[in-house]
Amino acid sequence: MNKTDLIKSVAEDAGVTKIYAEKVINKFIEIVGDELGEGKKVTVTGFGTFVATRRKEKMGVNPRTKERIKIPAQILPHFRPGKRFKEAIR
């Protein structure tokens, strides 16, 4: 399922227009991104928690040249599934 399919499914199940469903989904994505960017976490009970984790700087190897390179520190988004969500996909 891609984003277009998700929008269509939400619109049909909720009895709203595709435009409205798309606005809601886009706003959800925007809010989660903004909160993670501020160092906060977003918990959707029963679904899971979105968190931003900091990955330390490390040394790596360029596979083409075999040269050692420095990989900069990064802040990456992660998702921790909730109990009900994990049980739903078993």
User: If you ran DSSP here, which 8-state letter would residue 82 be given?
Assistant: -
The secondary structure of residue 9, as a DSSP letter, is: H
State pTM to two decimals.
Answer: 0.78
Rounded average pLDDT over 19-42: 96
Whole-number pLDDT of residue 90: 84
Task: Determine the residue type at 66.
Answer: K
Q: 89: helix, coil or strand? A: coil
pLDDT at 50 over 90: yes
How does strand 42-44 pair with strand 48-55?
antiparallel
| pLDDT category of residue 47 using cuts at 50, 70 and 90 | very high
